[in-house]
Structure 1
Amino acid sequence: MDWYSSIFELIDMRSFSNLWFWIVLAVAWSTASHWVMGVPYDLVVRARRVGGPVEADLLDIVRINTNRMLQIVEMSGTILLAMGCFVFTGLATLGFFYGVEFAQALFLLLFPMTLVMFINIFHARRLRRQDLTLERVAKTLLRCRLYTQIIGMIAILVTSLWGMYQNISIGVLG
């Protein structure tokens, strides 16, 4: 027995039974709910509490991120949408039709993040049309964070149920 097979015997390389997949899933959703539209949520809380220069920093970073995000969407949104549809169709086909567990894991990790991205774009468009005040920005970012957390909870639930199903079915068949 060589060292390569020893490592693969020690570390299960299937996605849903691998601890690293679940760590990546938790970190991804934790990061997505903390960085709302590219703005750290603790900055929103501090700006509401302290005001002054922190409030100005919040409004500046929201304006910059909103303009940046919407410029990317306006310049290459159609191409990005087409590439995303191609990638997700390929992952879904490989994963759920051909049974490739790694493709299933990637799909279940990345597809809900695109929903969060669409929510961020929607709220960025809404903020661009309005005057940026602390209360309006804080309310929008709070709503965006809430939607992100709801999508995250549903995604984690679906991923964990699918992962348990995969582990049980492979355990029974294998």
Structure 2
Amino acid sequence: MTTPAGYRRLILTRHAKSSWDDPTQDDFDRPLNQRGRFAATELGDFLASRGLEPEEVLCSPAARTKETWARVKGAVLESLPAEHFIPELYQANAAQLLATLRQAHMPTVMMLAHNPGIADFAASLPARVPLSSDFRRYVTCATLVVDFQIDSWAELKPGSGSVIDFFTPSRRG
């Protein structure tokens, strides 16, 4: 599904479920657990089934976001997008996420980051938010697909998006 001219599409993803097997491990370095690996692959399959391929990826450099992206990428991509691992996305608030997105270049962007900032950012984007209780909590691997009628990400204004889809993983894995 390509983004129409005069539109920008955002695929906004919270990282999948991380592992707490090692309580001494630094938060930044925590990998995905088994459920998270399954969910990230499931997200990739979901995006592929709908033809939702990002052209540019803005990703926190934390281990769990990078691993989420790697698993999604393995399922969804026919061509490799521009990938940017941006330190400011680690534990970013909604304002930082918006500022980063406004600097994106391609029409279809996937952003992978963390709660609580990503939940606040997701809630601020569409004119009407999904009714799902999982949207309000922005559970791990939750993904909002939202379109904006703008020519450049620099023009993005909160509350102006149209929800195309909302994904949450199954509870398996």
For Structure 1 versus Structure 2, the TM-score category normalised by the shorter chain is under 0.3
More strand per residue: 1 or 2? 2
Q: Structure 1 length as normaliser, TM-score?
A: 0.24
Q: Structure 2 length as normaliser, TM-score?
A: 0.24
More helix per residue: 1 or 2? 1
